[in-house]
Structure 1
Amino acid sequence: MEGAWIRSSRPEKAHVGILLLFMCLFIPTNASTQETPTPRCPHGDYLNEERGICCNKCSPGFKLLKKCLSEGLRSTCVKCPEGQYTDVTNYFPNCGRCRRCKALNNEFEVSPCKSDRNAICRCKKDFFRFNINTETSECRSCLPCGPNERERHMCTPTNNTICDCEEDYYRVNKRCEPCKECTTECKRHCTSPPSLNTKVTEPSNPFFINVIAGVGVVVVVMFVAVALITHKVTKHLTKKRLNHPVSQQSDVSSDSCEQVLIFSEEPSKTSSALAHGPTSEQEVSNLPDCIPLEINTSDLIYTVLDLVPVLQVKQLVRSLGVSDMEIEQAELDYRPCREARYQMLRVWAERGPRAGGGRGGMLHRPLLDELLGKLRQMHLGQAAEELETKYDLQ
């Protein structure tokens, strides 16, 4: 019995020994795989990712020349050169360019640019600043009051002139017409001044009102239907007209497309080559209609800025390959923010062998296809569809 107990206890001891061995092997491994926590920098500092330490930012009016190398040391900052500025604490390697007040744009300088603040411009006399959108503005001429109008508020550098109709006149379709009957504006034609408690005389026949309302609804519905039908027919005919010459040249190979593109880039060689034959005009008319689509870069960028929400523009340009440093540089160099976002997209459009920035500011179809793909990845399919509709993409 004793020998049997010894034999039965040996497998249990072996299992315990194997378990302890595995525990000894895994404990050092888990300890070594723990990542060093990223330091949290105090307010006013930034993280030097190369060394994993916190460095101080530069004050307004200065730019970063060299990052700090160890804890306790400070970053090397230098003052912005003449004609440049920074108006916030930063760690940018470059300062922003100062705004220039342009006399041709009817502006004059109120406050000059300094190293820690940008210049302040104001519209000249008889001009006011008109806000095109939340980020862009321009100086426009103050409008004088028209016939039968009087000035209620004079023009200021920030607001246009405000005009009212003269006495005994009332406004109709932006014009002041003479009073002919008793209204709120034409009190002289009233035997007694109209009071707020006076009820408006209603037609004695309500059926007449219903008829007028019904006719108005029918006219509106018919107008909308005609507009939709006209749009669809025009779009169908345009696509048919564009597709027709392509079907006639379906036997043209892809090599001929490349050759046509080369000819289009060297017009002098093309004209000299075609001029030797008697049928040069016929040969030009029979060229394959497969030249890659080109779109004006600036027009496309402004369209994208109108379609993409402001908070998603940076995400879009990052997905297109624009670096964070280029994004920060655009924000520093260009004010207002819309122009900075324009420059971010411009960096993408002018980069790479497929970019069209060098050919008269035209963007090739492959680069546009990349943009449409990124928009759909960001769940901005509506914006992609509107771009395809605007540029009539198949």
Structure 2
Amino acid sequence: MMAGTGHQGRCSVAIFLLLVCENISASTPKPDLEKKQCPAGDYVSARNVCCNKCPAGFKLKSECPGEGQRSNCELCPERQFNDKINHFPNCRKCRVCKESNFEYEVSPCKNDRNAVCRCMDGYYKHVIDSGTYDCLRCKECRENERKNQTCTPERNTVCECKENYHRVKNKCEPCRNCTTNCANLCVKVTQVTEAPKGKHNLIINIIAGSAAVVFVLLVVVVFITFVATKRFTKKKMLSQSSQHADVPKETKEHLLVDMNEPAEVISLKATGLNPVNDQESVKLPDCVPLEIRIPDLIYAVLDLVPVSQVKQLARLLGVRDREIEQEETDHRSCREAHYQMLRVWAERGTREGRDEMLHRPLLEELLDKLRQMHLGRAAEELETKYPIQ
């Protein structure tokens, strides 16, 4: 009895385990078949076979029976079309252009394209959805409006307000205030933008630098002008003083002429010459001067000897300090005073100051003193100008 009971219990457990396994297997989802990849222009049929699609203007009558075989396609019937390659079992109905809808047929329907309809003149296409539209009458512009876009079969008229008008509640009203649509009544305000501080400082620095350069240039120009004017004035004063120097007049000899003497002798006496001296003077070379005038020599010396050494030269030539001081007191011009100092020396060697010609020994003395003062160049120039025979 107990053995039968144990056997029955084991059978119940086995049945329970079988039921659990079936439930688990039933609840486990079966893996989907991999989607088949077909070349372009083909599709996966119900048999999981790649079949070719039907061309435009045809519909699918039956799928291909297997790989490498063709689908059975059929031409769309009249008033039906398919405008793309497909595997549809049916064709689409052609559009009918209705005169009641204010449209007319532009292109008829064929098996590979739909009919093309267009709205009549004075009407435009009002699209409702991708496949539905109505032909509505074109809009007429109202008072104070003008056409911005003319009505066409594809779009309606676009109206806008005339100049100096703006739209208020779908009506064009005259402009009275400054608004977005009435910009002509608005005062233009010029916006001034401040330059960045860096650029502003740079501009200030450039202006300041330019002003400084201009100021320096002006100072330099003024200084140069002042120096040039001062030198010119000094030179002019010196030239004026030299021009007003007292130059002694040449003494004239009065000759007594005997009326009984020949005319040639009378003319020679009048000129202070004799026939022998005249012939000798003619025979002298052109480079040897016949006479040395004291004023010319003194001015030549003053041009060659530095101003600071003129008084030293006068002392070496025998002019006393008292005479030098007297000439400086009597003549305010430095050049004129120097001239008179040297003239004191020159007149001592002439005929008691009555002769304007310098004797040769005095010239030799002058040249020696110049060489003693290390003014050899001045001595050479004087010797070249007044050669000593």
TM class by shorter chain equals: 0.3 to 0.5
TM-score in terms of structure 1 length: 0.37
* Structure number with larger C-alpha Rg: 2
TM-score in terms of structure 2 length: 0.38
RCO higher in 1 or 2 (8 Å CA, sep ≥ 6)?
A: 1
